[in-house]
Structure 1
C-alpha cells in the first residue's frame, strides 16, 4: 500500500508557508513606496528594505542552537510573531531608525520561518516522496509570488497604506492559525548537535553567482516601483505579476534542460535575457515596455536561481548538504541586503535610470562570470 504524504500536518504547513510568503512578497514592492511617502532618501530606503536580509542571514547562523532547544512548531510561532510585530509597527512609526529596527525584527522572523517551514514539511514526507512532496510545497510560494504584488499595489492605490498593513496582519494571523493546528511530526528527526563546518570553499562559485544575482534582484525589486512612479507609469503591479508567472512557467523547462545538459546553456541564455530585461527597465517610458521587461526579468530569475541551486546539490554529499544550503541562502540574502543599501547610494549619485544602467553593466559581467565558472568546473 502506497503511503500518501498529503497528511493534515503537511497541508497546514504548506498553507502556512504560502501565507507567510504572501506577506513577504506583498511588502517587496510596497515598502519602498511607503519609505518614499515618509520622506526617506533613496539610500535610507535601501537600508530600510535591505535590513531584513542581514537579520535573516545572522539568524540562520544560530539554527543548530535553536533546533537543540525548541521544537519547530514553537520556532515557527515565534517567527510569525516577529513578522506580526513588524507589520503592526510599520504604520505606527515614521522615524528612520525605528523603521530599520522593525525591519530587523522582521528579518529575524524571516530567517526562522524560511528555515523551519521547509524542514517541517520535509519531516512529514516519506523518504521516497521527499522530492515530489517538496515540489508541491514550493508551488504555494510560487503562486503567492505571482499574486502578492498585484494584490498589494492594488490595496495601496485604492485604499492606502493602513489598509495594506491591516491585510498583512490578517494574513499573518491566518498563518499562525495553521501552525497552531499542527501536531508533532511522525518522522521528526532525532535532535543532534551540528558539527559540520559553516563554510566550505568548494561552493564559492555557486554562492558567488547567487550573491550577484541577489544584488541584481534587490535593485529591481526595491527601486523599480519608485522609478515607474516617477515615469508616471501604472503597470508596476503587472510587471511583478508577469515576472512571477514567467518564472513559474520556465522552471520545468529549466529543470529538464539541466538534467540533460548541465548548467552552462541555461546560464548563457538566462543571463543574456537578464541583461535585456535591465536595458528595458532603464528605458521604460510606456506601460507595455515595463510589462515586456517583466517577461525577460521573470524568465531570467526563474532560470538562474534554481539552476545554481541544482548545480550546488550535484556537488554535495549528505554530510555537507546543510553547509552548502546555508551558504547558498545566506549568499543570496547578503546580496539582496547589500544590494539594496549600495544601490540606494548609487541612486543618489546618478539617479534611478543611471542605477539601472549600472545594473545592466553588472549583468553583462555576470554573463562572463557564469560561463567562466561553469567551464572551469567542467559541469556544462
Structure 2
C-alpha cells in the first residue's frame, strides 16, 4: 500500500480535525440534555442544535473571499478560536435567545474548520489515493467520536455541564496547538477557473449529502432524549458502537471508491441507514439501540467520505475550496433544517413517528443514491 501521504503535515491536520470533531461529537448528545435541563421544548432544542449549521452555511459562501486573502492555516486557527470562545460561553447562558446567538457564533468557526480541514488534508494526498486518504482522515474523526459520547455523558452525570464545557475548551486548545505546528503549503500554481458558489456539476453529491444531513440531524439531536424517555441507559454505547463501526469500515470504503467509484458503496450503505432508522423507531431495549448504532455507524462511515471523495475527484485543485464549501453547505443545510423541522415533527407525531418517517426517507435515499451515482467523470489531478 502506498502511504506516501503519511507525513508530518497530514498527521497534524488529521489530529487537529479529530480533536475538533471530538468536541463537536461531545456536544451532540449533551446539548439536547442541556436544553432540556433549562426547560426548552423539543422544537427549541432543535433550533439551538440546528443554528450552528445555518451560520456555517453563510460562512462558506465567503470561502472564495477567504481563500484569496488568508492561508488555510490562518483560517483554521481562526475557526478553532471561534469554537473555543463558544465553548467558554455556553455554561454562562440560560436564555434561549442568547444560546441561539452563541450557537450561530459557534457556527462561524464550524464553517471555517470543516471546510479548511478537509481541503488541507486533500492537498496532502496524491490524486490516485484521494478515496483511501480521505478514508483514513475520517478514521481520526471517528476514533475520537467513539470516545466523545462516553466521555461527555460521564462528565455530565458525575460532575456538571460546566465541567463538560471546560473539558471541551481544553481539547480545542490542543487542536489549535496541532495546527500551529503545521507548515503552510504554497498556493497551487494551477490556472484558476471561475469557481461559482453554486456549481451544477456537484448537484448529485450536494443533493445526496443534503438528505444525509436531514437523517443525521434526527438521529444525533433526538436519540438521546428518546432513549431517556424509553428508560434506556445505553445511549452512550449507541454513539460508541456507531463510531467504532465507522472506523472499521472507512479504509475499505475508501479503497472501494478508488477502484469502483461511489455506486457500490452508496447502494449498500443507504440500505443500512434505512434499517438503522427503522430499528430506532421500535427501540424498547438497549440491545436494539446498540444494534441500530452499528447500522447507523456503518452507513455514516461509508456515505459521507464517499460523497466527499467524489467531489474531490470532480474538481480542480485550484477550485477545491469552493467545491468543498458547496458540499458542506448542502450537508449543514440538511442538518440545520432537519433539526428544526424534525423537532416540530416530534411534537406532532412523537419520537417513534419521527424515526419511522426517517426510515421512509432512507428507502427513498437508496433509490436516489443508486440512480445518481452512475460512473462519474473525474478530473485528472497531478500526483
State whether TM-score is above 0.5. yes
The answer to whether the 8 A contact 1:264-1:379 is kept is: no
Query: 2-side partners of 1:143 and 1:336: how far apart?
Result: 22
Instruction: Specify whether residues 140 and 302 from structure 1 end up closer, same or farther in structure 2 by C-alpha distance, changes over 3 A only.
Output: closer
SS of the residue 1:91 aligns to = helix
The answer to whether the 8 A contact 1:257-1:266 is kept is: yes
The answer for the alignment partner of 1:41 in structure 2 is 41
1:250-287 CA distance string (max 9 Å, x none):
22332343444443333232222111111111111111
The answer for the alignment partner of 2:102 in structure 1 is 102
Instruction: Specify whether residues 216 and 129 from structure 1 end up closer, same or farther in structure 2 by C-alpha distance, changes over 3 A only.
Output: closer
The answer for the alignment partner of 2:17 in structure 1 is 17
The answer to whether the 8 A contact 1:122-1:130 is kept is: no
The answer to whether the 8 A contact 2:119-2:320 is kept is: no
Residue correspondence of structure 1 range 210-225 to structure 2 within 5 A: 210-225=209-224
Shift of 1:170: 1.3
Query: 2-side partners of 1:143 and 1:101: how far apart?
Result: 30
The answer for the alignment partner of 1:368 in structure 2 is 367
1:202-241 CA distance string (max 9 Å, x none):
3212211111111001100000000001111111110011
The answer for the alignment partner of 1:352 in structure 2 is 351
The answer to whether the 8 A contact 1:214-1:334 is kept is: yes
The answer for the alignment partner of 1:300 in structure 2 is 299
Shift of 1:12: 3.8
Shift of 1:3: 11
The answer for the alignment partner of 1:244 in structure 2 is 243
The answer for the alignment partner of 1:50 in structure 2 is 50
Query: 2-side partners of 1:155 and 1:191: how far apart?
Result: 48
Instruction: Specify whether residues 146 and 69 from structure 1 end up closer, same or farther in structure 2 by C-alpha distance, changes over 3 A only.
Output: same
TM-score (norm 2): 0.88
Shift of 1:199: 1.4
Instruction: Specify whether residues 291 and 209 from structure 1 end up closer, same or farther in structure 2 by C-alpha distance, changes over 3 A only.
Output: same
Query: 2-side partners of 1:367 and 1:165: how far apart?
Result: 38
Query: 2-side partners of 1:348 and 1:244: how far apart?
Result: 29
The answer to whether the 8 A contact 2:18-2:141 is kept is: yes
The answer to whether the 8 A contact 2:115-2:328 is kept is: no
Instruction: Specify whether residues 153 and 128 from structure 1 end up closer, same or farther in structure 2 by C-alpha distance, changes over 3 A only.
Output: same
Shift of 1:39: 0.8
The answer for the alignment partner of 2:381 in structure 1 is none
Shift of 1:168: 0.6
The answer to whether the 8 A contact 1:56-1:110 is kept is: yes
The answer for the alignment partner of 2:73 in structure 1 is 73
Instruction: Specify whether residues 128 and 278 from structure 1 end up closer, same or farther in structure 2 by C-alpha distance, changes over 3 A only.
Output: closer
The answer to whether the 8 A contact 1:198-1:323 is kept is: yes
Query: 1-side partners of 2:52 and 2:172: how far apart?
Result: 17
Name the Cα RMSD after superposition.
2.8
- Aligned residue pairs, count: 375
Query: 2-side partners of 1:192 and 1:70: how far apart?
Result: 19
TM-score (norm 1): 0.89
Query: 2-side partners of 1:176 and 1:7: how far apart?
Result: 19
The answer to whether the 8 A contact 2:136-2:250 is kept is: no
SS of the residue 1:195 aligns to = coil
SS of the residue 1:365 aligns to = helix
1:137-182 CA distance string (max 9 Å, x none):
4432221121111211121122121111111111112223333444
Shift of 1:320: 5.4
Instruction: Specify whether residues 255 and 161 from structure 1 end up closer, same or farther in structure 2 by C-alpha distance, changes over 3 A only.
Output: same
Query: 2-side partners of 1:301 and 1:158: how far apart?
Result: 30
Shift of 1:193: 8.1
The answer for the alignment partner of 2:380 in structure 1 is none
Query: 2-side partners of 1:178 and 1:85: how far apart?
Result: 18
Could you tell me which runs of 5 or more consecutive residues in structure 2 were left unpaired when the two chains were aligned.
378-383
Q: Does 1:152 align with 2:152?
A: yes
Q: Does 1:174 align with 2:148?
A: no
